[in-house]
Chain A
Amino acid sequence: DVVMTQTPVSLSVSLGGQVSISCRSSQSLVHNNGNTYLSWYLQKPGQSPQLLIYKVSNRFSGISDRFSGSGSGTDLTLKISRVEPDDLGVYYCGQGTQYPPTFGSGTKLEIK
């Protein structure tokens, strides 16, 4: 199985600030068809995960442009700019390139 390693485990940021979360995979996430099926999810406290980013850098419907994804191969990053109170929660990366789908262990974002 593809192991997804997220760093940091947690981070604290001031409102209006910017943060980056790293996700590294144990194998390349480039599919035979050329796509990289790496998604980012946010799980707000007491809620189920919600899709933020798919295929590395595509924002899902209704997601603010403050969220951006980048990277390639085995090294992917989520950047959140102009952090707002509603951004707090746990962020997960997840890969769908190779079966079974796997997730990172999460990064908890706290607001200072």
Chain B
Amino acid sequence: QVQLKESGPGLVQPSETLSLTCTVSGFSLTSYGVNWVRQPPGKGLEWMGTIWNDGSTDYNSALKSRLSISRDTSKSQVFLKMNSLQTEDTAIYLCAREALNYGGFDYWGQGVMVTVSS
């Protein structure tokens, strides 16, 4: 079945770089896009970016200067890197599969909580 699982450090120092991995199973990254979405504690959902099935990417313009999304199709992994982290980047980070022809996200990972603090 379709599964996505995020992994990465739970604590990041201010001004440092966040690196997260989304490991997927049950589908191919060459057939589906994968998105990163974040959710500050107690708040709503913010789309961060997408890596499409062809490897191209789209980013939220508010994060574009700090964000990079890449993938390793052989390992079924999608990577997020975001630099210059600040306390307001504290959030649950989720990866979600782009639903084909739905215009939404059909499967989500469990999320990983990232705290930015010294």
Contacts and interface: CB of A to CB of B under 8 A. Distances in A.
B44 A106 contact: yes
Contact of B106 (A31, A51, A104): A51
Contact of B105 (A51, A97, A104): A51
A102 B47 contact: yes
B103 A97 contact: yes
B102 to A, nearest CB: 4
A60 B103 contact: no
B99 interface: yes
B62 to A, nearest CB: 9
Contacts of B111: 48
Interface of A: 31, 35, 37-39, 41, 47-51, 54-55, 58, 60, 92, 94-97, 99-106
Q: Which 3 A-B pairs have CB atoms at the shortest separation, nearest pair first?
A: A37-B103, A96-B103, A39-B104
Interface of B: 35, 44-47, 58, 60-61, 94, 96, 99, 102-111
Given A54-B99, A103-B45, 15 more contacts: A37-B103, A37-B104, A39-B102, A47-B110, A49-B45, A49-B94, A50-B108, A55-B102, A58-B102, A96-B102, A96-B103, A100-B61, A101-B104, A105-B44, A106-B44
